[in-house]
Amino acid sequence: MVETESQNIEETLKRHIQAHNIKKICVSLSGGVDSIVLLYALNQVVGKDIFIRAIHINHNLVKDSQSWADFCKKTCDQSQVQIDIHSVKVSTTEGFGIEAAARKARYHTLQKSIQAGEWLMTAHHQDDQLETILLRMARGTGVEGLQGIQKQFEFGRGNILRPLLGVTKNEILAYARKKQLDWVVDTSNQETYFDRNFLRMKVIPTLKERWPTFSSSVSRLSDISTQTSTLLKELAEQDLGFNYPVKNLDIEVFNNKSIGRVINIIRFLILKNEMPVPSMKVLNSGTNTLLNPKSVNPSMVWDDYCIKRYLDKLYFLKLSEIQPNQGNKSMNWSIDKPLVLDANGSTLAATMVKGQGLSLKKCNKNLDVQFRKGGESIRPVGHKITKKLKKLFQENHILPWVRDKIPLIYQKSELIGVGDLWFNRNYTASTDEDGFIVNWIRNITIKHN
């Protein structure tokens, strides 16, 4: 029995290495039995043409954390495997639970550490998959969540692979005992205060006693959910058409489509924008708000993200992009030098020309720059009358959430330029006058097209 389990683990690793033609492996080594078995078994099956190293993340959350790091180093030294040990600080003030915060810190460090062409291997197994899917079901997941732990995906400059997802915890323990391996034990895994531990110790044993093949059945559910998710993505791409935009979406795409299909498109674009998918409740109610023609300033907000509707388009945004501009102080701009407007790199620069732009004779080289407060007016080039900025913004479909981020250029108390969009006709250079063209360098979309 043990021989079969040993062969199962080692043959599984061989199969993955050959299938992906892997030449560089980095093992995420915690010191627990799962990752110790993964490292040991890899050393049994790889040839000299494959480089293996390990990486250990010390989360500094328990008193034994340094001894775990020392154990991992000793284990790797004995196996002549290079190991890198990283000490991280886990933030518990960002609204995450301690487990999620530790995972975030760990994967952030791992992602930065992975080398080009390297495969990061983690020791997640079939029982981990079962716990993950049950946890997500308890929290109300959708098809994406039912996929559970992903087996393989691009990660940093390399890839991540979980080759043991089809292997049970019992097989791993049997292998470790057969090979007489040593490992560290995290006593916090016995604390049922944590949801995952509660499932592992209180719920799953009962389920397995009643249904012995429960773990493998849930693994099949994961595979089926992955197939379903792929079909839904393909359907969304089909609905969006060729060369679809990611940051915004014309709502005409939703014509003659069921609400389920509409939500599928929105969910697809949320993921494309690398945003977390909101809860079903937020997604359903938010979609109804966005598509209701009577909604005032329609938006869907969750976490640090939002989707806003303006005219006939949806815009996928970070909340920071729609926050009111706090820069209410006047800035002096000597046009001989660029003026940096904000931390996002928004900059004003002037190019000296003849017979174009603003006249150097009518305005000096030291100007004032402010941001919108309300009530501003300008008589722009090409217009016969003075116009309120509010009217200009509306007529030209300037996105409402960027209007207070557009720099206003003043000669003393008179508005002579609105970014590089409009200029005061009374201050433009004639054919024989020296002038300058204003360039507003920005990384934001300002106009609805």
- Residue-range domains of the chain with CATH: 9-194 (3.40.50.620), 241-321 (1.20.59.20), 331-441 (no CATH)
Interacting residues of 280 by C-beta distance below 8 A, sequence separation 6+: 140, 142
* C-alpha–C-alpha distance, residues 219 and 225, integer Å: 10
**195 pLDDT exceeds 90?**
no
Q: Residue-wise over 206-226: b if at least 16 C-beta within 10 A, else e?
A: ebeeeeeebbeebbebbeebb
Q: How far is CA 392 from CA 146, 292, 403, 432, in A?
A: 49, 27, 11, 30
The reported pLDDT for the residue numbered 384 is: 85
The model scores a pTM over 0.85: no
Interacting residues of 155 by C-beta distance below 8 A, sequence separation 6+: 110, 111, 114, 120
DSSP 395: H
**189 pLDDT exceeds 90?**
no
CB 261, CB 275: distance < 8 Å = no
DSSP assignment of 131-147: HHHHHHHHTT--HHHHT
* C-alpha–C-alpha distance, residues 12 and 388, integer Å: 70
**316 pLDDT exceeds 90?**
yes
- Tokens in use for 11? 């043959």
Region 41-62: mean pLDDT is 92
The reported pLDDT for the residue numbered 190 is: 75
The reported pLDDT for the residue numbered 194 is: 80
**342 pLDDT exceeds 60?**
yes
Alpha helices, DSSP H, located in 115-258:
126-138, 143-146, 169-178, 195-198, 204-210, 214-240
